[in-house]
Amino acid sequence: AQSVTQLDSQVPVFEEAPVELRCNYSSSVSVYLFWYVQYPNQGLQLLLKYLSGSTLVKGINGFEAEFNKSQTSFHLRKPSVHISDTAEYFCAVSSYNFNKFYFGSGTKLNVKP
């Protein structure tokens, strides 16, 4: 089975500052990795995913994430955040057949003016 740990439940940051949201996973098999964003009272939206190839993955809204196999991490970064980035962010892993997804507990990003 797989599991996902998001170390920070809340991350406050000022507008235009850089941010990193941390995600670590555990799995006995190779997995695919995802980051989702959830705005208030909405469903989840895919930001980016890592399937294979380059370990640096670029997603929507200026976000990127780096897959580090040795550290079993998939941290999400943005060099300059906006007020509109205020949301909850979820890291997730899935098995290669995409049958099951395991989500972290979420990190609430609060961007302050």
The three state secondary structure string of the chain is: CCEEECCCCEEEEECCCCEEECCEEECCCCCEEEEEEECCCCCEEEEEEECCCCCEEECHHHCEEEEECCCCEEEEEECCCCHHHCEEEEEEEECCCCCCEEECCCEEEEEEC
For the CB of residue 110, give the shortest distance to another protein in the complex, in Å.
16
| Residue number with CB closer to another protein (80 or 105) | 105
95 contacts: CB under 8 Å, gap ≥ 6:
2, 29, 31, 32
| Residue number with CB closer to another protein (27 or 103) | 103
For the CB of residue 59, give the shortest distance to another protein in the complex, in Å.
10
For the CB of residue 16, give the shortest distance to another protein in the complex, in Å.
29
| Residue number with CB closer to another protein (14 or 96) | 96
For the CB of residue 22, give the shortest distance to another protein in the complex, in Å.
14
Binding site for another protein (CB under 8 A): 4, 6, 9, 32, 34, 41-46, 49, 51, 90, 92, 94, 98-106
| Residue number with CB closer to another protein (27 or 32) | 32
